[in-house]
Structure 1
Amino acid sequence: MAKYLLLKHYRGAPAPANDVPMEQWTPEEISAHVQYMRDFAARLEGTGEFVDNQALAPEGMFVRYDGEGRPPATDGPFVETKDLIAGWMVIDVDSYERAIELAGELSAAPGAGGKPIHEWLELRPFLGEACTITE
């Protein structure tokens, strides 16, 4: 088994095929999207492949050490930015191919009009985990 992080980006580049901004979705469309992800996680809990997940608030800031005391912090990230991380899921699967398969399924979460949003998900193995990328 190897652990992978699936990073869910909000309006990342390249844009999803169904690129209707989430703030324009109806409450029912948002509920359907969230329920899809809950059902997906529940199914992976049943197979033992689910580790954890969390949605992230759009508010935040960037912080870095400046070597002079209090770290400087900037406003942001902002919803208008090109690449805002909206949430993450950790999976523990038998193969890299299975991780790709599950990322593809999660990418098909419904959006506006109930159509799959085909969003890009970042798939990253945990450091030190065995992973063979053949492409």
Structure 2
Amino acid sequence: MAKYLLLKHYRGAPEPVNSAPMDQWTPEEISAHMRYMQDFADRLEKSGEFVDGQALAPEGTWVRYDGEGKPPVTDGPFAETKDLIAGWMVIDVDSYERAVELAGELSAAPGAGGRPIHEWLELRPFLTASPNVTD
């Protein structure tokens, strides 16, 4: 088994095929999208492939250590940004091919008008061994 992170970007690049910004969707379209995501997670939980997942609020804060005590804080990222992470899901699957299959299925979540949005999802394997650093 191998763990993968599926990152769901809000209006990330490249743009989804059938996507109006989510703030332009009707409440019914948002509910259908969220139901699809939950049904997907429930099915993977039953198969043992679901580890965890969360949706993220559009508000955020940037924090950076500057070596001077209390770290500086800056507002952002903002929903208007081109590459805001909207949520994530961790899956544990038998192969990379299965991870790609599931990411493709999740990409078909319904959007405006009930059409699949065909969004791009970022698929990242978990690092399984410490990288070796040589001089």
Same fold at TM > 0.5: yes
Identify the residue that residue 20 of structure 1 maps to in structure 2. Answer: 20
Identify the residue that residue 115 of structure 2 maps to in structure 1. Answer: 115
Identity %: 84
Identify the residue that residue 33 of structure 1 maps to in structure 2. Answer: 33
Q: Deviations over 1:5-39 (max 9, x none)?
A: 00000000011001201000000000000000000
Structure 1 segment 1-135 matched on structure 2, within 5 A: 1-128=1-128
Residue 84 of structure 1 and its aligned partner are, at CA, apart by 0.3
RMSD of equivalent CA atoms = 0.8
Between the aligned partners of 1:107 and 1:56, the Cα distance in structure 2 is: 17
- Structure 2 gaps, min length 5: 130-135
> Stretches of 4+ moved more than 3 A in 1?
none
Letter of the structure 2 residue corresponding to residue 3 of structure 1: K
Provide the secondary structure at the position in 2 that maps to 1:54. Answer: strand
Letter of the structure 2 residue corresponding to residue 35 of structure 1: R
Letter of the structure 2 residue corresponding to residue 84 of structure 1: L
Between the aligned partners of 2:122 and 2:109, the Cα distance in structure 1 is: 15
Between the aligned partners of 2:117 and 2:32, the Cα distance in structure 1 is: 12
Residue 46 of structure 1 and its aligned partner are, at CA, apart by 1.1
- Structure 1 gaps, min length 5: 130-135
Letter of the structure 2 residue corresponding to residue 92 of structure 1: D
Q: TM-score, normalized by length of structure 2?
A: 0.94
Letter of the structure 2 residue corresponding to residue 21 of structure 1: P
